[in-house]
Amino acid sequence: MSTHAGISITRDACSAVVVRAGRVRWCARVERDPGTPIAPAVARLLATAPRRHSRLRVAVSLGASYCQVKRITNIASTIRADVASRLVEQNAASFFLRSSRLVTTGVERAADGSAWSAALDGALVDDLVDALREAGLGSAVFLPEPLAIALVLPAGAHRIADGDVVAEFSTTSRRTFARFRRVRDDVSAAHTIADPPDDLPPALRSLGDGARHYAAAFGATTCPPNHPLTWRPPADPKRRRWFARLGVGAAAATFILSMIAVLVAPGIRASIDVASALRLAARHAAGRAEAARIETDLRRVTASLDRIDRFESGRGDLALLLAALARVLPDSTALLSLRVDTVEVSLSVLTPRAADAVSALASADNVVSPRIAGSVMRDASTRATLERATIRFRRRRR
């Protein structure tokens, strides 16, 4: 929530209010001598102000003696507002009475299409800008007092006096001027508002009998900062130069830092990766040790099982082989000798026909390539004619 400060400068007094959340938080008024500089009066006025707020917005209302408001004629309604403002600024002497340097505001278009502009006393504005900067209020908006009053009071005809200058003006419901007249008059009241205090807003009425003295200052706080009839001082050239140098310095520093980052960033990234990888590797060390131990045990157990399996694979083969021999050899065949090793079997038989024995052996499952080794001998020692032969074959392993 922003805080608004409004300052009213007239020929014989300076007044100020601080408004926050629509309520007057502080107000002060000091008398001044019109012939003396404005800075001491402003300093005295702001000496009792509350602590500066970082978002304080300051608007300064200049009394009728220091401002002129005028309807600008002969400006076509099709001309853009900024063009019209420059036109008025560059031809200020053509539109306003000029006894000293003037600063002009923008041009405001009223509802009836008329164009209005204002001029402020340049010397006073310069003094005020310096005084406000001294007081720590860097940027302020300046506006004519009739506008400040128009923003506070309801639409209608109003009359304000500042010294021997009287401004009579009427306003519309849109807070624009419908008529304005500035005359020099010999009035006794130094600064008056013709309207009764009942017309003042409640926030201002709460100040009591002196509320009318703060009407312009309060109205200045309600003025939008981009109102056409306001004037904002240009930025301080020193400050502008300082900001320009700061920008160049920041750009140079950013460039140097960027170059350093280009050089250093990959190395820093690699360092981070190294640390991360080493941390993860250390975390995996326990798992790696367990995996190595499991692998060693697995290798030993597997070797033992393989050894046992190889040994067990030969068990029972011989019994099966003998059973096969008993099954396939003809009943008329007598086995003289049998020799079995792990690969080959050799048997000597006494049989009527050795070839029949070989054929019979060939039909056995675990017999491979049976053949007669050596010669077949006729054995006539018995009543029947028999053949004595040696048969060899290879064993078929499971």
Partner 1 sequence: MTPRDRRTLIFGAGLIVALVLTAKGVPATVAWRRDKALESARASQLLAASSIDPRELRSARDSLAIRRSRLEAIDSVMPVAVSASAAVAQLASTLEDLADSCAVRVSAIQLRPDSVASSGLTEVSARLNAVADVAGLAAFVRAIAGSRAPLVVRELTVTAPEPAAPSSKAEALRFDVLVAGLSRTAAQGRP
The answer to whether residue 267 forms part of the interface with partner 1 (CB under 8 A) is yes
**Residue 374 one-letter amino acid:** G
Span near partner 1 by CB under 8 A; candidates 96-104, 133-141, 190-198, 306-314 = 306-314
CB of 245 to partner 1, least distance (A): 13
The answer to whether residue 257 forms part of the interface with partner 1 (CB under 8 A) is no
Q: Which of 319, 375, 378, 380 binds partner 1 (CB under 8 A)?
A: 319
Q: Considering the complex, state which of residue 174 and residue 310 has its C-beta at the smaller distance from partner 1.
A: 310
CB of 237 to partner 1, least distance (A): 19
CB of 380 to partner 1, least distance (A): 12
Span near partner 1 by CB under 8 A; candidates 38-46, 171-179, 184-192, 301-309 = 301-309
Q: Which of 93, 248, 253, 281 binds partner 1 (CB under 8 A)?
A: 281
The answer to whether residue 380 forms part of the interface with partner 1 (CB under 8 A) is no
Q: Which of 31, 82, 295, 365 binds partner 1 (CB under 8 A)?
A: 295
The answer to whether residue 377 forms part of the interface with partner 1 (CB under 8 A) is no
Span near partner 1 by CB under 8 A; candidates 7-15, 57-65, 155-163, 292-300 = 292-300
Q: Which of 250, 270, 355, 373 binds partner 1 (CB under 8 A)?
A: 270
Q: Considering the complex, state which of residue 79 and residue 270 has its C-beta at the smaller distance from partner 1.
A: 270
Give the whole-angstrom CA distance, residue 384 versus residue 57: 144
Q: Considering the complex, state which of residue 34 and residue 316 has its C-beta at the smaller distance from partner 1.
A: 316
Q: Which of 39, 324, 340, 362 binds partner 1 (CB under 8 A)?
A: 340
The answer to whether residue 301 forms part of the interface with partner 1 (CB under 8 A) is yes
Q: Which residues bind partner 1 (CB under 8 A)?
A: 263-264, 266-268, 270-271, 273-274, 277-278, 280-281, 284-285, 287-288, 290-291, 294-295, 297-298, 300-305, 307-308, 311-312, 314-316, 318-319, 322, 334-342, 350, 381-382
